[in-house]
Amino acid sequence: MKAKMLDRREIDVLAGRLDDARVQVLDVPSLADDVEIHIDDAYRIQDELVARYLRRGEALVGVKLGFTSKAKMAQMGVSEVIVGRLTDAMSVDDGGRVELHRFIHPKIEPEVAYRLALDVDLDDPTVDVESCVDAVAPAMEIIDSRYRDFRFTYTDVVADNTSAAAYVIGPWQPMRAIGDLPVRLEAGAHTVDGSTEAILDDPINALHSLLEVSRRRRIPLRPGDVILAGAATAAVPLTAGLARCEIDGLGVVSVEVTA
């Protein structure tokens, strides 16, 4: 069945539900329990949700990709990555501290981050997105779905700004090829090993996928923006203690998680 397109008021109501969940640190049921949402409307809800963050004083600092592993795409029955927005309020310093009470049921995952040095002209069909990037770094993302028990549909998670909650970036290095580098995430009692290859076979492919989605959804890619390319392993629950990610040959990033 084809989803009916939502009107402005319906978009506002659904974005408000997700915004309240984030502010109150209280989960909500899947939006899909009430209404069938078209993917175009899911991005419109995300736009309105992020506009609410900005009206409260947050500033956009970048974007993130989700569903960048074959396993996750297969699980969700999709073949396209999803894109969410990062704000300054989500940034945590490398070696700094983050408090668990900010989140509903957070998980953490190891990522590769890129930094844009130049504006990416979404209307230029010949634009070379790789040449717009000047730096790469190890990173960790804290995801915190606003949906009860992390139970969501593809359109739910897009509407919920792809579960974006916080992120930490390690030391930037000049842009270089990443390909297949071993990754280890240690977070509380969890240790997970993986590879950067899990990110679309090579994290560089995340830049090309991002460009496609950004063109279609009119998501600006501006100088200075951070790009979280996707998870190199499955996410693990975030618990108190040290969370540390090492990407061989790229570096280490860590954060102290407090109750």
Which residues 6+ apart lie within 8 Å of 28 measured at CB?
17, 18, 20, 21, 146, 147, 148
Instruction: Single out the segment in contact with ligand 0L1 by CB under 6 A; choices: 30-38, 48-56, 155-163, 178-186.
Output: 155-163
Q: Which is nearer to ligand 0L1, 119 or 148 (CB)?
A: 148
Q: Virtual CA dihedral for 184, 189, 190, 191, nearest 10 degrees?
A: 30
CA separation for the pair 91, 68 (Å, rounded): 21
Residue 210 binds to ligand 0L1 (criterion: CB under 6 A): no
Taking CB under 6 A as the criterion, the residue among 30, 46, 87, 145 binding ligand 0L1 is 145
Closest CB to Mg ion among 132 and 231? 231
Give which of ligand 0L1, Mg ion, none residue 233 binds (C-beta under 5 to 8 Å, depending on kind).
none
> What is the Cα–Cα distance from 113 to 12, expressed in whole angstroms?
31
Count of residues of this chain found to bind Mg ion when the rule CB under 5 A is applied? 2
Kindly tell me which residue out of 157, 200, 219, 229 binds ligand 0L1, with binding defined by CB under 6 A. 157
**Total residue length of the chain:** 259
Site string (43-82) toward ligand 0L1, x via CB under 6 A: ---------------------x-x----------------
Determine the Cα–Cα distance for residues 70 and 80; give it in Å rounded to an integer.
Answer: 10
Residues with Cβ within 8 Å of 238's Cβ and at least 6 positions away in sequence, in order, are 100, 103, 106, 107, 108, 142, 187, 188, 257
Q: Is 143 in the site for ligand 0L1 (CB under 6 A)?
A: yes
Site size toward ligand 0L1 (CB under 6 A) is 10
DSSP state, residue 250: T
Closer to ligand 0L1 by Cβ: residue 66 or 203? 66
Site residues, ligand 0L1 (CB under 6 A)? 64, 66, 141, 143, 145, 157, 162-163, 230-231
Which residues form the interface with Mg ion (CB under 5 A)? 141, 231
